Structure 1
């Protein structure tokens, strides 16, 4: 894995402090310097709606694995990136805040949409709020290319390997003595949560840098790529800047997004287990994804078979991209990816689609996720 030189300057940019009855948060921008990772030259370029339509056909066809190669060569990316992030910690200090839950979101989201929804009544869908009430600190961030983080080139820079290196860099900063990013909390351990694409990033971190994490919890994930063509075909992605110029006109053409709310719902949700108003809010804050992210997922083989720490996979039973719409028996293959995890907890029966956190009864899912942390990362 490529090495990283990080933070020639650690000055925190102007921060926003917010408080709630149970916790206090600080928002800031983390300037990462000279982040280095393998990268790939793509065999295609997205400029028009015709281009993204052709790419969809090529990736969704049943023989795409042999008929279409999105990679034309290899290279290396080195760059400086500003990462928008937020750290929250319980207002009543105990030893638990020394464990930080590091949350990485998936495609089409940002740091708040999936982990801490901001609409009226969104608290019941917030894993962040459940975690701080349970006594943990939480760090969540906008991945490169999303939210308020740097919008780098969506073809050549915003790819899977650089996202892994950025997560590793951020984790090192949180674990550093006297870190500027932890609100004076002396963080001693990190547990990594991922959703969807963020789960693949988290799994790759566990493989490449196991020393940086105490345990991982994955959702929207099976580790099986068999059903990604179902995602790609149904999402019907469009060039974001062309689809909605008023909203995304400043983005480069390689940033794409589902064609409408129903295509988005197709991937994210399963009736009757969600409220339509939640979907409407989610689509209103949609963050386009970089085409390079999907094109490079799986191009570097991260070996998870030697990871020996706790692993949790918590799945909505009807997840399309992870399980083809039915996780029954599919997660048997997931278990084979983590043979030495201790323990390995896999649950695939929660009544939800892909976005577990945004369905009814999400509080029950949060209880299981946080119980996994409590049992496997004891109070230090």
Structure 2
């Protein structure tokens, strides 16, 4: 039995952390179910009652904390060093009380890097799971102070503070260069991108996030929308520019202008920056898409299986390098056709004409043609959806992912036969 201490910025029940948090929770639950002792050290954020059978300590700061109304500049100059010391003390206390065999770092954006440095300096192996590009940002405050506002007055004021802040960070020995000696990446894209820059260790492996097939499945779905029925498409997640939702509305607008939009309805589930939502509303009016597009508030992950069951197609128009989309894999597992971009790691599961349909990021014309095509070829939706579901069953099952992570961690603790098994699969 291993004793594994998870370190992560957000942990359920929590409204933040999104897909990364979901993967972390599933792995922690999976390791605990396999007989290992699990504990979690996370931030103070909690939205609901604790419900895990293992210890969850909510004592870490998030710094800078963008969920607070307090300006980041104030957070930097007031109490930051004290919060760093408190974070290190919280780790030391958790290690003393839980006595872990291995430290397992997950979503660490916002966690003080001195905390991670303290973890690496302990006489315990420290492993990281990257479903992001954490090593590329060694300190959140550095880019904050390096970016100056457009307003001339604010630019002068922040510029003066930035010179002091950057001098202070340098005096503190920051940004801290972490070793990242033992890492798991969610996709080959993430691992190779970080390894090319020399940011992670030589033993870096790839273990993709999996889908809990007991929760996300097609439930024997035998068909999608009938030939003359409306095709139900959905976008679920953060409503932000990098997610490319504007490209979808431009594509629908083109079809509307050409009288080719007649049996497709899109539901957009999620929230994000108010200015971006306002821009999307303007596109709805510009293209007269009110009857074809519905906005809905975010839903809890427990409601997502019902969301997928009530839709035929998931749109994934991301314009940033997705490490590996949880939503994409869940939708495929539930028997939806995925139409999306293959930025980042998405192309490791989404293959054009094989497991879904693909268009270039930001290319509204190409997406419009694909949407027109599924309106005309309803059997294509069902055929590719079935292929996508099989892809998840074969390569992205959470049970397999947890087993491989278990083997990797065991290998760090000196079980060479298990370590060889993981290396062979990576």
- Do they superpose with TM above 0.5? no
Give the structure-2-normalised TM-score.
0.33
Structure having the higher helix fraction is 2
Larger Rg: 2
Give the structure-1-normalised TM-score.
0.37
